[in-house]
Structure 1
């Protein structure tokens, strides 16, 4: 069959890989000039490595992704390390990436709170019955079983930071289970950065005969009778037997106005939140203790949810000696951060850098880059599995796969690979 895939992110590329192995004629359309989607990166002339526009890493438990890496013969380029994650409590930062660290973390209190935290963490690591958990909000379930003190100290700041006050108290427990169940303290990356991986992946696809068209924004996808589908760009109109769209739900509906009825209603009911990330290069390290990931509660006055010192994971020698940090937040689409220039946003963030390191000075800053997206985190309400649309749309031969389909798992390239494997099996 002639198959079109719209989007050269991880799901689109993996689906193309799977389908070309079956002997299909595959064309990928990508509106950007590079592959990778939200995991794509950029590189300054003096840098050896790429930097992701939105921070990305892999986990030891990412089995679908690691299997694909081995199939692509790229697994030797994967590196795993164990950088330090810290929590903010009462004006100080405390490591929180091991059992001993959790025992010493004062934010959980003492005695029964830490015992309950330990037992609940163990239960969530062992159970696979996530369907029963989606009947409850994370707040109600954690408050009942882990205790109110543990929830308000440990999980509530993350939930509010991730989903905002409007949605944090409505997110179901299956989503939080997935984060605890699947994640590891060892984090992985690709030598040279994620963009190096996507470049290697696209090269292998082209070697296999996959046609990849960059700078090819799609105007529309439509039916052509009962036989084939038409994909229209600014430059050409092409006919295909199957079309797979890997965009956000909103973009999908914009591309395919013929989709009506309950399927359109289902997609329009899905809610999500956006993200704004500022990448900053510095003359010297920000962290005084080589910390990598800072979890920052909104009620502590930080102007961002998380700060990530990338060069405490990938050495600064890969970036011409520069320190690379990310400051990011999940935000509703109307938030002013989306409209601020990168320099204006930087001025908003500088006080936050100074809270992390009081010695920080604006003259440490070499450069900054702002990246934003309105579709960064789907919001899973109670019994959310019933809200996930089928990858098969009402239009014959047209399929849709998005970040919203990977529930209960949180965003991640590993789950994009799993989704691609599912798509490939039903086409």
Structure 2
């Protein structure tokens, strides 16, 4: 079969990999100049490694990514350092990256609160029965089982930070189950950065005979009378037997308006947030304690959700001695941060760094970069599984696989690989029918 894949992110490339190995003729269309999707990176002069535009890491439990690495013969290039994660409480930061650290965290108080916190965490790690959890919200479930105090101190700040005031009380408990059930405190990356992996992956696909068209956005999909599909792009109109789109739901709806009304309605009603991330190259280390990830409650007055000192995870030697810092947030696309200039955001963000290190001075900043995307975090509401669009669309030969469909799991490259490979299996199975 002649197959088109829209998007050279991890989902699209994972699908292309399996299809090519099955002997299919695959062309990948990518609007950007390089592979990687939301995990793509950039490299400044003097850097040996790339830095992701939107911070990324793997978890040691990411089985789909580990399996793909084995299949590609690249597992030896994965690295799993042990970075330090901290939580904010009353003006100070406390380690929160292990069970002993969590038990010592003062924000939970003492006695029964810590016991309930521990029992809830243990239950969610052990149970696989997530379906009943999507029928209630995180707020209702956690208040009942972990207690009001633990909810207010631990989970409410995370929800407000992640989903904003609008959605924080509406997110279903299955989403929280997935985060606590599958994630580990040990985090991973790739030698050279995620862009190095994306480039290695793309080269492997080309070695299998795949075609990847960069800087080639697709503008329309048209079904033909003979069952084939026309893909309209900057490379001209091309015919394919099958098309797999790994774009956002909104863009999928624009590409294929001939989809049935109920499927289009499902695509357009999916909720999601965008992301705004500023990356700094500092002349000095910000965190003297070597902290990697700072969880920052919005109520503490920080102008972003997460502060990540990347070079406390991997060495600054890979970046010409620069210390790499991320400041990021998930926001609705009408938020002011999507309209502000880079200079305005830098002026907004920099004063907060003195709260991390009182010695910080603006002249520590050697260079800055700003990245924004309107589609970064799906919002799972009650009974979300009933509203997920099928990978097989109602139109024969057209498939859709996005991070909005990996539920109950949260977005991430591991689950992008899983859904991409699942879509490829569907395409192959349908092709034999």
- Both proteins in one fold, TM over 0.5: yes
2:389 maps to 1:389 = yes
Q: Tell me what 1:320 maps to.
A: 320
Pairs within 5 Å for 1:356-371: 356-371=356-371
- Matches of 2:15 and 2:235, distance apart in 1: 25
Q: Tell me what 2:296 maps to.
A: 296
Contact 2:257 2:264 in 1 (8 A): no
Q: Tell me what 1:28 maps to.
A: 28
- Matches of 2:425 and 2:219, distance apart in 1: 28
Q: Tell me what 2:254 maps to.
A: 254
Instruction: Tell me the TM-score normalized by structure 1.
Output: 0.99
Pairs within 5 Å for 1:185-224: 185-224=185-224
Q: CA deviation at 1:234?
A: 2.5
Contact 1:307 1:325 in 2 (8 A): yes
Q: Tell me what 2:166 maps to.
A: 166
Indicate the SS of the match to 2:143.
helix
Indicate the SS of the match to 1:329.
strand
- Matches of 1:16 and 1:381, distance apart in 2: 31
- Matches of 1:302 and 1:219, distance apart in 2: 40
Contact 2:403 2:411 in 1 (8 A): yes
Pairs within 5 Å for 1:77-92: 77-92=77-92
Q: Tell me what 1:309 maps to.
A: 309
| Structure 1 stretches lacking a partner, 5+ long | none
- Matches of 2:191 and 2:123, distance apart in 1: 35
- 1:13-53 CA-partner distances (Å, limit 9, x unpaired): 00000001111100000000000000000001200100000
- 1:150-171 CA-partner distances (Å, limit 9, x unpaired): 0110111010000000000000
Pairs within 5 Å for 1:323-338: 323-338=323-338
| Count of residues paired in the alignment | 427
Contact 2:393 2:399 in 1 (8 A): yes
- 1:298-338 CA-partner distances (Å, limit 9, x unpaired): 00000000000000001001111110000000101001111
Q: Tell me what 1:344 maps to.
A: 344
Q: CA deviation at 1:260?
A: 3.2
Q: CA deviation at 1:137?
A: 0.1
Indicate the SS of the match to 2:199.
helix
After the TM superposition, which segments of 4 or more aligned residues of structure 1 sit over 4 Å from their partners?
none
Indicate the SS of the match to 2:317.
helix
- 1:67-119 CA-partner distances (Å, limit 9, x unpaired): 11011010000000110000000000000011111111010011000000001
Q: Tell me what 1:93 maps to.
A: 93
| Structure 2 stretches lacking a partner, 5+ long | 428-433
Contact 1:6 1:244 in 2 (8 A): yes
Q: CA deviation at 1:393?
A: 1.0
2:9 maps to 1:42 = no
Q: Tell me what 2:430 maps to.
A: none
Q: Tell me what 1:265 maps to.
A: 265
Q: Tell me what 1:235 maps to.
A: 235
- Matches of 1:230 and 1:97, distance apart in 2: 50
Contact 1:163 1:330 in 2 (8 A): yes
Q: CA deviation at 1:268?
A: 1.3
Contact 1:343 1:368 in 2 (8 A): no
Q: CA deviation at 1:202?
A: 0.6
CA RMSD of aligned residues (A): 0.7
Instruction: Tell me the TM-score normalized by structure 2.
Output: 0.98
- 1:258-299 CA-partner distances (Å, limit 9, x unpaired): 123110111111110111000001000011210000000000
- Matches of 1:21 and 1:369, distance apart in 2: 38
* Higher mean C-alpha displacement, 225-234 vs 62-71: 225-234
Q: CA deviation at 1:226?
A: 3.6
Pairs within 5 Å for 1:91-130: 91-130=91-130
Indicate the SS of the match to 1:273.
strand
Q: CA deviation at 1:235?
A: 3.2
2:176 maps to 1:176 = yes
